[in-house]
Structure formats: C-alpha cells, structure tokens
Amino acid sequence: MSAGSNERWRVAPGGTLRGEARVPGDKSISHRAVMLGALAHGETRVTGLLEGDDVLATAGVFRALGVAIEGPRKGAATIHGVGWEGLQPPAEVLDVGNSGTSMRLLAGLLAGLPFATVLTGDPSLSRRPMRRVTDPLATMGARITTGEGGTAPLRIAGGAPLAGIDYTLPVASAQVKSALLLAGLRAEGRTCVTEPAPTRDHTERMLEGFGYPVSRGADTVCLAGGHRLHGTRVDVPADISSAAFLLVAASIAPGSDLVLRHVGWNPTRTGVVDILQRMGADIQVLAVDEAGGEPVADLRVRAAPLRGIAVPEALVPLAIDEFPALFIAAACAEGETVITGAAELRVKESDRIAVMAEGLQALGVTVEPREDGARIVGRPSLGGGRVHSYADHRVAMAFAVAALRAEAAIEVEDCANAATSFPGFVALLRALGLAIEAV
C-alpha cells in the first residue's frame, strides 16, 4: 500500500440524505462501449458515458491507435469505428493510468493485432497481477511479456496468429472472461469460456448489441472469430457500483429517503442490493425497463435498522466491487457480519480487506480480517478520526459515507482517485445532505 494524491475529505458527523439523484454512468459498460465502438465499422453514438479518468484512459488508447472520438461531453460521445484493419501502430507506450479494466481487456484485444504495443499504468496498477490474463492468452498464441512478478508493463508482440480455446476460469472474473472473448474475435476457430460462478455479462450483451454472434449457456459463453462489429447506439445506465455508496448511506442515516434514477439492473450486478436487503435494508426496485440491451431501474432506499449476516458466497462475485460500501453497512449493523470467498478483494486498487479493516479499526470497529474476507462486529455509532484510502476510490467514498453514523468528523486521505469512477462525488453528496468538503 502506498500514498496517493494529497486531496483530503473532511466529513462532519451525522446527517440525513433526501431527494433524488442519478449517479454517473456505469464504468464497466462505458469501457466496453468505447472499445467495441472503435472496433466496429461505422459510427457509434454513446449517451450516459462515464467521464471518469479510467474511461478517458481507454478513449486515449484508441485515439493513439488512430480512432477518432468526439467527446465525451455531458456523457455523449461519438466514436468513428475503423474496424480491426483500421487500427494504426501507436507512436508511444499506451498508458491506462489506474484502470485495471482497461489493461486486462486491452491485453486480449491488442494480442490479435499485427503490430507491437506496450501497456503501462500508474504505480498502483503496476503492482496488480496480470498473469491471470496473460497466461490463458498465451495458450491462444498471444506473445505477451510482463514485468517482474507478472505485473505491468505488458509488452504485446503482435503478429501472432491466435487460436480459439475452451477455457475454464479457475476464479470467477469478468475481466479475464472478457479479455479472452476479445482475443477470440481475432482468433481462428471458436473460443469458449466457462466460469465457476456468474460474473457480469456486459461484454456478451454488448457484443450482441454490435451485431456479433455470441452463444451463451448456463455457465459458458462462446464465440467464433472473424465476424464484424457494426456501429450502433449505446445508452449507458447509471453505475450500480457508484449507487452502492448512496444505498448504504441512506440505509444507515436516520430519516433518509432517497431515489436513485436509471440504475443498471443487470442480474449479474445486483448482489449488493440482495446483500443489503438480507441485512434488513429498505430498498424498493421501481420502473424496471431496458436501455441499450441492459436492464435499468429506479431504486428507492429509506433508512432502516441493519443486522449482521453471513454473506452467501454465491453473492460475492455479483457484488465484488461494492464490498467497501458493504463493509460500512456491516460496521453499522447489529451483530456480526462474516464475509468469505472474497479473496479477489486483496488484488483490487488496494488490498481492500486490509485497508477497510485498518480504517474501520481506526473508527473503533472490531474487525477480524481473514485471507478471503472478514468478520465485522457492528456498533450503534462509529468513532471519528483520520483514515487512509491508499488512493483507492471506492475505499475513499466508503469512509466518506461512514460519517453519517459517526460521533465525530472523519477525515479521509488520498481521495482524488474518486474521479476514476464517480466524478462529482463530493458535490452530489453535499447536495443530498452529507456535510463533506474537499480540503
């Protein structure tokens, strides 16, 4: 763990959240819209695109590969797809900043190009494991050299003929699945990926939206290489991972009543709501609809007493990015919450098990970190004090909303990376009733 930026948030204790809001666009879907739009033939128009640092990094990669992208402005972007054959060798190393999604998915996508590329990232991303992607890609014929320890930079030789594979994921991972499917678009024959538990299926849905044939079974997705992608329209829903902080915030702050609009309601992403409802959260799912091939819904959440639970392991992959927020819910619940089967949290932007445990302990919460999860004993109110986010955007936002149940102010260090997934977090939360300021 290392320090990040100097931005710090100071959040006064207590408060009530009321009103309605639409959080920024879904980060996972935004990445894929840019990638497939660039590879498509013709124009792709995107609305609701997340204008966070991670997605902008993905857009920057494709601009460096010769793709014209207009915007994004107020969530709207137009991508002038050039097809695979229209991509051009970049003049320099492709820097994806802090975006693990960009690096892992691009590793699969770039593996099938006729020219060499190098993917790099910031110091935090350069510590995250990449062999989980590069090893199965190598079985397809990709030639990728990692840094020492299997980390970035990734040097992709290019020009290697790829062959489809039948691969069973050792650990459920939408990023690894997506990387293999993207490589499969350029591979000879059929690529099939089988997963041990359901993970987000945005790649499969979006490929179909771009006119690419995909075969999906109960736990396996397959495609054959060589088909074309066609430009289309993509409406990106609000990100349920960002909405999670508001769902927890309104649940733990007495008197809160909040409506979140047009939230992505993909069944592979609703684990956070399932877990919160099992804890006693009052969350209503309203106005279920579909936008651009993705289910959406309005969510109404009102304050409710939460109780500790043993989180079912089957729900963990469906809520893996939302666990920093869920740690806060557990800290405010009556009784103890036990999380298992979540070892993936240790290789995110930070070791989220260790970092969340450290921060909660600083606020007076009893936490027993475990290799694949944690045991958290809830309490009626949290202490105040200073916690370190270690430049992890989701950790920073989680501790910000924790102040709603604190006895004194909470100061959160290294918060600038919140812009990677939730630009405007401070302003929106302040408008809804959280006494937060950036200092």
3-state secondary structure of 438: strand
Beta-bridge partners for 72? none
Residue 332 has what pLDDT?
Answer: 98
Q: What angle do CA 126, 127, 133 make, to 5 degrees?
A: 80
Which of these, 23, 49, 24, lies nearest to 36 by C-alpha position?
Answer: 49
> How does residue 5 score in pLDDT terms, banded at 50, 70 and 90?
low
Per CATH, the architecture of 8-25+237-438 is what? Alpha-beta prism (3.65)
Number of other residues whose CB lies within 10 A of the CB of residue 215 = 12
Q: Please, which residues have CB within 8 angstroms of residue 88's CB and are 6 or more apart in sequence?
A: 65, 66
Question: What percentage of the chain carries pLDDT values higher than 70?
Answer: 99
Residue 2 has what pLDDT?
Answer: 37
DSSP result, 129-143? --HHHHHHHHHTT--
Would the CATH topology of 8-25+237-438 be identical to that of 27-235?
A: yes
Residue 219 has what pLDDT?
Answer: 94
Q: Distance between CA 429 and CA 248 in Å, rounded? A: 13
User: Which whole-number Å values give the CA distances from 328 to 83, 228, 247, 340, in the listed order?
Assistant: 45, 45, 11, 16
Q: Is the backbone of residue 415 left (phi > 0), alpha (psi -120 to 50) or beta?
A: alpha
Residue 4 has what pLDDT?
Answer: 42
Residue 133 has what pLDDT?
Answer: 97
Q: Distance between CA 208 and CA 198 in Å, rounded? A: 18
User: Which whole-number Å values give the CA distances from 220 to 54, 136, 196, 198, 215, in the listed order?
Assistant: 28, 16, 9, 10, 8
In this predicted model, what pLDDT tens digit does every residue of 224-282 receive, in sequence order? Answer: 999 999 999 999 999 999 999 999 999 999 999 999 999 999 999 999 999 999 999 99
In this predicted model, what pLDDT tens digit does every residue of 128-149 receive, in sequence order? Answer: 999 999 999 999 999 999 998 9
Q: Distance between CA 36 and CA 33 in Å, rounded? A: 5
- The domains of the chain are located at 8-25+237-438, 27-235
In this predicted model, what pLDDT tens digit does every residue of 66-123 receive, in sequence order? Answer: 999 999 999 999 999 999 999 999 999 999 999 999 999 999 999 999 999 999 999 9
Q: What angle do CA 261, 207, 228 make, to 5 degrees?
A: 145
Span of 192-196, 292-296, 351-355 with lowest mean pLDDT: 292-296
Q: What is the mean pLDDT of residues 341-356?
A: 95
Q: Please, which residues have CB within 8 angstroms of residue 226's CB and are 6 or more apart in sequence?
A: none
What's this model's pTM, rounded to 2 decimal places? 0.90
Residues taking part in catalysis: 321
> How does residue 124 score in pLDDT terms, banded at 50, 70 and 90?
confident
3-state secondary structure of 64: helix
Per CATH, the architecture of 27-235 is what? Alpha-beta prism (3.65)
Number of other residues whose CB lies within 10 A of the CB of residue 19 = 12
User: Which whole-number Å values give the CA distances from 278 to 14, 335, 372, 416, in the listed order?
Assistant: 25, 13, 21, 33
Q: Distance between CA 232 and CA 226 in Å, rounded? A: 19
Q: Please, which residues have CB within 8 angstroms of residue 217's CB and are 6 or more apart in sequence?
A: none
Which of these, 253, 260, 388, 255, lies nearest to 329 by C-alpha position?
Answer: 253
Edge to edge, what strands does the sheet with 385-388 contain?
385-388, 410-413, 8-11, 436-438
